Amino acid sequence: MYLADPAFWTELQRHTLNCYDEALLRQVAARLVKPRNQWPVEDLIERGVATLENPAVIDRRLHDLTPPARRVLALIGLSRQPYWQLGNLVELTLALGHDDGLQPVLELLEAGLMYPSLHRGSDTGNGNGFSDRKIKSFEQWLAAPGPMGLRVFAPPTIASRAIGEDLGLPDLSAEEPQIATLHPIQEADGLEWLLRLAVLWQQVHAAPLRRTLNGDFFKRDLERLQQDPLLSAAPADRLTDVPDLPFLTVALAELQGVVVQSDGELRAGPLPASWDNGLTNALETLWLDLLRLSAWTPLDGWRAGESAAGNPFPSAYLLAFLLLARLPEDATVRPETLERWIVTQHPYWTNESLRPSRQKPWLETFLLGVAYPARLVQARRGEDGWRVRLTPLGRWLLGAGDAPNLEAVPTQTLLVQPNLQILAYRQGLTSSLAARLTQFASWETLGAACMLQLQPETVYRALEAGQSFEGIRLTLEQHGTRALPPAVLDSLRTWANKRDRITVYPSATLLEFTSAEDLNDALARGLKAERLSDRLAAVANEGDIEYRLFRLAGTRDYALPPEKCVSVEADGVTISIDLARSDLLLETEVPRFAERLDHSASGRRQYRLTPASLSAGRSMGLTLATLETWFHQRAGQPLPAAARMLMTAGQVEAPRLQHHLILHVASEELADGLEQWPQTRELIEQRLGPTALVVAEENVTVLTERLHAAGFVLTKRVERD
């Protein structure tokens, strides 16, 4: 996880400090680094980054802060979420009883212990995702924060040093009335959200969800989510109703990267890597994302497309958990008690102009409907409603306890049936097993025992994701309560084999050798390539080619337009190929419509278009248009007449032999005149050439008279031999 990677944070700090104007950087460095000389900007940045890697220096800098600023850092440290909306931090500061919510945040920014989040998530002009625009002052940034909004971050190395700070929160269990009968404590297995995310992943993998411009879904997909029997169903151990449950799953999936936005659609992303590291890790990432949740709230349900700014719930969630962390370990509290404290302290709810619709209770929905299935809180029913407390996981996440061991002991928890159904008992299910099952089987029901179905498509999906037949078999055998039924094994093998029959390389790199011996030689010298033919080899990674072993005779890029490397001889049917400039396309195209000649010159290869070769081409789908395009692309000239004649033979009107009586005249102009003059025009059947006109036998007498009238004397007829 990037949160635990110190290199990620030092690099982020370096880039952020680089976005500060020199004056601002010197102002921040004066408190962070405390330089004794006028160091260059680059040195200040490097020393600033180095300072934050030194816990002793961080502690000294924390000591210099005012208590409210230290509390803000403590809140961030306790939340484990380094990124916060600035507004939420202001709300938290005010809720803790400070008069000015912004001042502590500004103090942290000026001390270099908190930074504005300037990374846009995609590359900008300078290639690292950061804007080239320099920040002159934090007041300027507050007024015009840019596309990322007013978001700040405090690296975990800093925030974690402040978590010992007393936040002054009360123990609310002392206010709770004592009751006689309490039901046993309930704790979820923590798999509910993971399984729902897995179901959504499968749904989106099958068909993406299309989004409207304002961030909502198109009606069809909206209904698809609302009516999905698994996503819309309440959990088996439901404690309360959750509004827009399928959409809450979508919101969490987006934050977890289980679905990713691309071209206006939500598509399946990778399943979170944290799932492979155990349930504790998977739930920790879920906790972090709950504090970023903005597309859904317990009061409004799904609020697609609404801005994250102005959403008070992340700060309210954190306050609720911190209040729970203040309870003695065995004490419980009613959600309404927690909520009462929050709405009297949190500036959003203390605002007098708050509409009545915003004053409805919401915390019980969140704690029992969202946090309980995430295994963050335990619940117990009492006479006066539900009471909650943190689970060991929740206490650990909030720094109030040691890390719990949530891992189920690997057990045989799957029952694979001959009809390709898998029964998965939840008590033995782990997050990593759930991830693997999600890839090669589809979830049919979620409950204490979940049902999955093996299908060809699901197995192909798993194979495409990198699993293998052996891997799937091992998973089912290791976790199966019984031996794998032979019918299931056969189906898996058949599907896996079928998939191996065809491999598509969308963008392969090929090496073409002059001879089979050269290819063998290259492979013997360590070339990492797969032999495709005696002279061709596919290279997995072009970077692996050791060019010092090779002399490049040419390079062809098939994404570029084809190169002109063909010349046409005078006969119009013989073509010569320049071998130094040709490519594989040409080598496979030409034999489809031309015959190779034996007497090719060195460096060139000759082919001839013949009636037989073109006929064979036509039978394989070659068209006149294709051939014309090919000559334009490869020879840079139109299809030669002779080639066109051969190509169209049999497709045009048959040639015929015919006798004609031809009138020869002295000049082209005279022929034009005869064709134009109405007296003679109707007697001319056809013009054969500039001075030759065809006359019908029966019109000869009339034509002779009319020519005579015009002043011409028709000479005598020349008869055939």
What is the binding site for other proteins (CB under 8 A)? 456, 460, 463-464, 495, 498-515, 517-518, 521-522, 532-533, 536, 538-542, 545, 548-559, 577, 579-580, 582-589, 591-592, 602-603, 605, 620-621
State in angstroms the smallest separation of the CB of 202 from other proteins. 18
Neighbours of 655 (CB within 10 A): 5
Region at 163 (left for phi over 0; alpha for psi -120 to 50; beta for the rest): alpha
State in angstroms the smallest separation of the CB of 464 from other proteins. 7
| Minimum CB distance to other proteins smaller for 74 or for 268 | 268
Token pair in block for residue 690: 């500039």
State in angstroms the smallest separation of the CB of 211 from other proteins. 23
State in angstroms the smallest separation of the CB of 623 from other proteins. 10
State in angstroms the smallest separation of the CB of 505 from other proteins. 4
Q: Which residues contact 95 (CB under 8 A, 6 or more apart)?
A: 315, 319, 342, 345, 346, 347
Contact call for residues 245 and 298 (beta carbons, < 8 A): no
Contact call for residues 217 and 225 (beta carbons, < 8 A): yes
Contact call for residues 538 and 510 (beta carbons, < 8 A): yes
Token pair in block for residue 537: 């080899």
Neighbours of 615 (CB within 10 A): 15
| Minimum CB distance to other proteins smaller for 366 or for 495 | 495
The DSSP H or E segment spanning 259 is strand 259-262
In three-state secondary structure terms, 477 is helix
Question: Where do the H-state alpha helices sit in 36-84?
Answer: 41-51, 55-64, 67-79
Neighbours of 505 (CB within 10 A): 10
| Minimum CB distance to other proteins smaller for 5 or for 587 | 587
Helix 67-79 and helix 86-95, axial crossing angle in degrees, nearest 10: 120
| Minimum CB distance to other proteins smaller for 40 or for 543 | 543
| Minimum CB distance to other proteins smaller for 592 or for 608 | 592
With tokens 């000049």, the residue in question is 667
State in angstroms the smallest separation of the CB of 522 from other proteins. 5
State in angstroms the smallest separation of the CB of 381 from other proteins. 51
Token pair in block for residue 46: 């490097």
Contact call for residues 291 and 81 (beta carbons, < 8 A): yes
- Point out which residues pair with 85 in neighbouring strands: 151
In three-state secondary structure terms, 575 is strand
State in angstroms the smallest separation of the CB of 272 from other proteins. 22
Q: Which residues contact 513 (CB under 8 A, 6 or more apart)?
A: 519, 522, 535, 536, 537
| Minimum CB distance to other proteins smaller for 474 or for 584 | 584
State in angstroms the smallest separation of the CB of 440 from other proteins. 14
State in angstroms the smallest separation of the CB of 523 from other proteins. 11
Q: Which residues contact 699 (CB under 8 A, 6 or more apart)?
A: 683
d(CA 518, CA 264): 49
What is the identity of the amino acid at 545? Answer: I
| Minimum CB distance to other proteins smaller for 493 or for 708 | 493
State in angstroms the smallest separation of the CB of 509 from other proteins. 6
d(CA 335, CA 172): 11
| Minimum CB distance to other proteins smaller for 87 or for 617 | 617
Say how many Å lie between the first and final Cα of the chain, rounded.
101
| Minimum CB distance to other proteins smaller for 128 or for 558 | 558
